[in-house]
Amino acid sequence: MRIIMTCEPEEAEALAKLIAGEISTFERNGRGLGWGWHYSLPNGRTFFLRQIKNGISATPFKGRP
């Protein structure tokens, strides 16, 4: 599984732990590519975790359009 994170260096460890805890959720949901959730780190910054072809990507969440 590939994990792609777009974050500040000081957020990387917390974001990686968050993703690791959610891998089973993505495996169980079966909703397919592009589907995901948004999560907040303890520092208050929110990220969108999305299922991609070969893993999970995490990008800063800018809100709904």
Contacts with 53 (C-beta within 8 Å, 6 or more apart), sequence order: 33
Q: What percentage of residues in the chain have a pLDDT greater than 90?
A: 51
Overall pTM surpassing 0.85 (yes/no)? no
For residue 37, the model assigns a pLDDT of 87
For residue 65, the model assigns a pLDDT of 52
**pLDDT tens-digit series, residues 15-37:** 999 999 888 888 887 777 888 88
What is the average pLDDT value for the chain, to the nearest integer? 88
DSSP letter, residue 40: E
